Amino acid sequence: MNKVLVACAGSGKTTHIVDEAMKVNGNVLITTFTDNNTDEILNKFIKKYGYKPANITILPWFSFQLEHLIRPFQLSFIDVRIKDIIMQNGKNFNRYKSDQKGYYLCGEAIYSDKIAFLAFKTLNTNELTYNRLKCIFDYIFIDEFQDFSGYDLEIVKHLANKGMNIEIVCDPRQHTFSTHYSLKNHKYSSEPLKYIEENCLSFFKIDENTLNGSYRCPQNTIRYASEIFPNFPQSNSNKLYEDGDGIIFVKTSDVASFLSKTPSIIQLRDSKKTLVNPKYPVSTFGKSKGITVENAIIYPTKPMLESIMKKDFSELKSKSDLYVALTRAKHKTAIIVPDKDYEKFNCIISHIDSYLI
What pLDDT shows up at residue 153?
96
Q: Distance between CA 354 and CA 260 in Å, rounded?
A: 29
Q: What is the chain's Cα-based Rg?
A: 22
Contact 325, 296 (CB under 8 A): yes
The amino acid sitting at 245 is D
pTM (whole model) above 0.85: yes
What pLDDT shows up at residue 91?
62
What pLDDT shows up at residue 108?
86
What pLDDT shows up at residue 219?
96
DSSP state of 66: I
What pLDDT shows up at residue 95?
75
CB-CB neighbours of 89 under 10 Å:
9
Domain boundaries, the chain: 2-81+115-211, 214-356
Per run of 10 residues, the mean pLDDT along the chain (length 357 residues) is 96 97 98 90 97 98 96 90 81 74 86 92 95 98 93 96 97 76 70 92 96 97 96 94 93 97 97 95 92 97 97 95 97 97 92 82
Phi, psi angles (nearest 5°) of residue 269: -140, 165
Using CB atoms within 10 Å of the CB of residue 238, give its burial: 0 to 12 exposed, 13 to 18 middle, 19+ buried: middle
What pLDDT shows up at residue 275?
95
Homologous superfamily (CATH) of 214-356 is: P-loop containing nucleotide triphosphate hydrolases (3.40.50.300)
Annotate 116-132 with DSSP letters as a single string. HHHHHHHHHH-HHHHHH
Q: Distance between CA 247 and CA 202 in Å, rounded?
A: 41
What pLDDT shows up at residue 200?
95
What letters, b where the CB count within 10 A reaches 16 and e where it falls short, cover 35-51?
eebbebbeebbeeeeee
Q: Distance between CA 169 and CA 30 in Å, rounded?
A: 11
Contacts by 37-45 with C-beta closer than 8 Å and gap 24+? Answer: 37/143, 37/144, 37/290, 40/14, 40/290, 41/14, 41/17, 41/143, 44/14, 44/15, 44/18, 45/18
Annotate 172-234 with DSSP letters as a single string. GGG----S---STTGGGTT-HHHHHHHH-TTTEEEESSTT-EESSS-HHHHHHHHTT-TTSPP
Q: Distance between CA 221 and CA 332 in Å, rounded?
A: 9
The amino acid sitting at 242 is E
CATH of domain 2-81+115-211: 3.40.50.300
Contact 26, 55 (CB under 8 A): yes
Q: Distance between CA 262 and CA 251 in Å, rounded?
A: 15
Helix, strand, coil proportions of the chain in percent (round to 5)?
40, 20, 40
What pLDDT shows up at residue 317?
93
What pLDDT shows up at residue 104?
84
Q: Distance between CA 270 and CA 139 in Å, rounded?
A: 38
Domain 2-81+115-211 identical in fold to domain 214-356: yes
Contact 105, 119 (CB under 8 A): no
**N residues, the chain:** 357
